[in-house]
Amino acid sequence: MVKGFRAAAVCAGIKKNKKKDLALIVSDTPAAAAGVFTKNRVQAAPVRLDKQRLSSGVCRAIIVNSGNANCCTGDQGMADARAMTRLAADALNADEAHVLSASTGVIGQHLDMDKIRAAVPGLVSGLSENGFAAAAEAIMTTDTRPKLVFEQGQMGEKTYSLAAMAKGSGMIRPDMATMLCFVCTDLEIPAADLQQVLVDANEASFNRITIDGDTSTNDTVLLLANGQSGVRAKTPADFRAFAALLENVLGKLARMVVEDGEGATKCVEICVINAASRQDARQMADIVANSSLVKTAFFGEDANWGRILAALGRAGVAFDPDAVDIWFDDVKMVKQGLGCGAQAEAAATAVLQKKTFAVTIDVQSGLQQASVLTCDFSLDYVKINADYRS
């Protein structure tokens, strides 16, 4: 339980499968608010609206629908996003400017506002301290399971709580990743500090994952802090402690997203070590993590290290291919750019049969490193996305 926060979810009929598709998260008092959003130039109406409203640093509620992205919907889409927040604000007796919205689903279709209007009274009446699980379920699209984390933090002898939910399974790519995430804490922390903590935690978590290389139009991470625990972050040590807790929570959610990737059977950490710079390491890890050939080899449990080297070669980073070592977990598959033989390949193949493993790439160019979490490409990924709208 996070003091002063409630949540609820209902089936409004937006989705065709008659599952929950409308969620509401409410702070009983105005909360400090921070957000990060997609960097895609094509941005959904709720993203544009939230970016405007977050300038106040205050939020009372977030209303979210799944099944429709409300993106590429023109002036009507913006009007609908505002109408969603107005409906929630009126029902909560709150300032509409302090209500944010989010949407996820099919692009290019207008929301059925009559369904949302009819569902809001039941949504508000269902608000509960225990409603977060239902809300986490309602924001899913192709996800196979809800993603929800509760944690507690300490400042001195006092305890505060944090709850975070996310959705995401496909259209996931670093640069804000591709998902919705909502975080509530009863810690008191100024909005300006909250924003910097969120930016840093997002960079270390959701910006380090990929499923299919596509960046969404609706990426939204919102963080609310209402201070209802009576615990206040005041010192640099307090801010560092909260930042560490938030990064841990978002990291857990990020891994859940990759593990639940559309059609995924493997969760793989790509680690590039001993690069000349952190940026070089990140570029190299990213190119390998997003390589369709590498990802299909993971699915086929084929220790095809040549595809990894080939991907590195197009990362735009200077390195010596004849100096590269590659491990699959603790199995050394490549030494100084050459394969280590049939015995090593058999051991590496056994590693690839696991659901979770790491690929470590030593480029021997410096002392910096970076990692990206990815998954395999399976036949089911194609099937899911071939008929997503039908």
Tell me: do 280 and 255 sit in the same domain: no
* Residue at a domain's end among 259, 291, 322: 259
Tell me: do 89 and 188 sit in the same domain: yes
Q: Residue 132's closest CA among 24, 229, 253, 32?
A: 24
Tell me: do 72 and 146 sit in the same domain: yes
Tell me: do 240 and 290 sit in the same domain: no
pLDDT at 390 (0 to 100): 45
Give me the CATH number covering residue 179. Answer: 3.60.70.12
pLDDT at 175 (0 to 100): 62
- Which run of H or of E encompasses 248? helix 236-259
Two tokens, residue 289: 């993590």
> Residue 193 class from Cβ within 10 Å (0-12 exposed, 13-18 middle, 19+ buried)?
middle
- Distance, in Å, from the CA atom of 142 to the CA atom of 199, rounded to the nearest integer, reads 26
- Cα dihedral 37, 40, 45, 49 sign: positive
Two tokens, residue 262: 């559309």
- Distance, in Å, from the CA atom of 197 to the CA atom of 153, rounded to the nearest integer, reads 15
Query: Buried b vs exposed e over 88-118: b needs ≥16 C-beta within 10 Å?
Result: bbebbebebebbbbbbbbebebebbeeebee
Tell me: do 223 and 283 sit in the same domain: no
How many other CB atoms are found less than 10 A from the CB of residue 134? 17
What is the residue-level pLDDT of the chain in tens, covering all 390 positions?
A: 899 999 999 999 999 888 999 999 999 999 999 999 988 889 999 999 999 999 999 999 999 999 999 999 999 999 999 999 999 999 999 999 999 999 999 899 999 999 999 999 999 999 999 999 999 999 998 888 999 999 999 998 899 999 999 998 766 665 654 589 999 999 999 998 999 999 999 999 999 998 776 667 888 999 999 999 999 999 999 999 999 999 999 999 999 998 988 778 999 999 999 999 999 999 999 999 999 999 999 999 999 999 999 999 999 999 999 999 999 999 999 999 999 999 999 999 999 999 999 999 999 999 999 999 999 988 777 776 676 554
Tell me: do 228 and 319 sit in the same domain: no
CA 64 to chain centroid, in Å, comes to 16
Is 233 within 8 Å of 187 (Cβ atoms)?
A: yes
> CA angle, corner 28, sides to 25 and 30, nearest 5?
95
How many other CB atoms are found less than 10 A from the CB of residue 289? 28
Tell me: do 329 and 221 sit in the same domain: no
Tell me: do 240 and 361 sit in the same domain: no
Q: Residue 161's closest CA among 12, 2, 325?
A: 2
For residue 137, the one-letter residue type is E
Beta bridge partners of 335: 338
Give me the CATH number covering residue 356. Answer: 3.10.20.340
Domain span at 242: 5-259
Residue by residue, DSSP assigns 139-202 as T-SS-SS-EEEEEEEEETTEEEEEEEEEE-SSS--TTT-S-EEEEEE--B--HHHHHHHHHHHH
Q: Residue 265's closest CA among 388, 93, 134, 381?
A: 381
Tell me: do 300 and 233 sit in the same domain: no
CA-only gyration radius of the chain, Å? 22
Number of domains, the chain = 2
- Which run of H or of E encompasses 332? strand 331-335
Tell me: do 148 and 21 sit in the same domain: yes
- Distance, in Å, from the CA atom of 228 to the CA atom of 191, rounded to the nearest integer, reads 15
Which residues are the active-site residues? 178
